[in-house]
Structure 1
Amino acid sequence: MSAVIAPVDGRVIALADVADPVFSAEMVGPGCAIEPAGSEEMDAELDVVSPVSGTLVKLHPHAFVITTAEGVGVLVHLGIDTVQLKGEGFEPHVAEGDEVSAGQLVTRWTTWPAAREGYPATVMIAVLDREPGSIVSSRVGDDVTQGEELFTL
């Protein structure tokens, strides 16, 4: 069983409580979300790390997918509706196809463009191709530090 770690510091919330119906209904997959620490500040800068080790198979400015050696895809989505920012505020530090380690910096996110547009800074972590409800984090309601375990695969 592989651990999935927190990509940012913050408070863990259930996906059901996320203000995005696609994630809250677990249409993308089960997992959890984090309300990032400091994201309420207009000029927060968050270093977002990989929650698992594996291959970076998809990289958008606001989201990325890592596939583990066991073939499990884990999506990290930074903010709600942040695709509308067309990359503004996001600085990737890796490239598609790269091998990454759990805890390795993937993206630096300056949240002010999202805050300016009123987009929540919620970070969603979803396991792809899994049944809704099949993964639940025991950390919901807890504050976590980047790198701490959220759940296992």
Structure 2
Amino acid sequence: MVVRLVSPVTGVVRPLAEVPDPVFAEQMVGPGVAVHPDAVDRADVLAPCAGAVGALHPHAFALELGGERGVLVHAGIDTVGLGGAGFTVHVEAGRRVRAGETVITWSPAAVADAGLATVCPVVVLQGDPATLTQLVADGERVEAGEPLLEWSPRD
């Protein structure tokens, strides 16, 4: 079954290789893309697909899709060091969410002002890069909630 992932934020699509964190840049947790969000004071981070909220932190969340499939969204890099300041979580772990539903609200501008990267990786956890199709080219703009990736997981 093909899973369509929507962009969790509005911004410019970037390859994971440009993310200033080797865990993402070297695809240690899986393949995907990143979105460099607009430098706004308030932005929602949306669920890229339907699933159950697994890991949940103020700056990141993972969705469990079943069959040991998962998707990770990380709002900025090294934002764990902010201790949740400037982030609002709108769901609780275990809850099912719909694609496009708000999971976190944050301030990319405040994160940038703190000297941290605001780029948002969207990663298919432990996925096979050959099963992903990027729907928006690197360097192109995408709106939150618009299709970003198609994932054709192998069963």
Correspondence 1:144 to 2:142:
yes
Q: CA deviation at 1:61?
A: 0.5
Correspondence 1:93 to 2:90:
yes
Query: Could you tell me which amino acid in structure 1 is paired with residue 8 of structure 2?
Result: P
Correspondence 1:7 to 2:8:
yes
Identity of aligned residues (%): 40
Q: Is the 8 A contact 2:133 2:150 kept in 1?
A: no
SS in 2 for 1:68: strand
Q: Which residue of 121, 126, 133 maps to 1:124?
A: 121
Q: CA deviation at 1:134?
A: 5.1
Unaligned runs of 5+ in 1: none
Query: Pairwise mapping of residues 37-116 of structure 1 onto structure 2 (< 5 A)?
Result: 37=38, 39=39, 44-116=41-113
What per-residue deviation string (whole Å, max 9, x for no partner) do you get for residues 62-112 of structure 1? Answer: 000001245420000010100100101110000000000000010110234
TM-score by length of structure 2 reads 0.89
- Give distance in 1, aligned partners of 2:66 and 2:27: 23
- Give distance in 2, aligned partners of 1:80 and 1:136: 24
- Give distance in 2, aligned partners of 1:25 and 1:127: 13
Greater Cα offset, 105-114 or 22-31: 105-114
Q: CA deviation at 1:48?
A: 0.8
Query: Could you tell me which amino acid in structure 2 is paired with residue 124 of structure 1?
Result: P
Q: Is the 8 A contact 1:89 1:111 kept in 2?
A: no
CA RMSD of aligned residues (A): 1.6
Unaligned runs of 5+ in 2: none
SS in 2 for 1:130: coil
Q: CA deviation at 1:138?
A: 4.0
Q: Is the 8 A contact 1:66 1:73 kept in 2?
A: yes
- Give distance in 2, aligned partners of 1:3 and 1:146: 14
Q: CA deviation at 1:129?
A: 1.3
**What is the count of residue pairs matched by the alignment?**
149
- Give distance in 2, aligned partners of 1:112 and 1:9: 13
- Give distance in 1, aligned partners of 2:131 and 2:25: 14
Q: Structure 2 vs 1, CA of residues 72 and 16 (structure 1 numbering), >3 Å: closer, same or farther?
A: same
- Give distance in 2, aligned partners of 1:72 and 1:48: 20
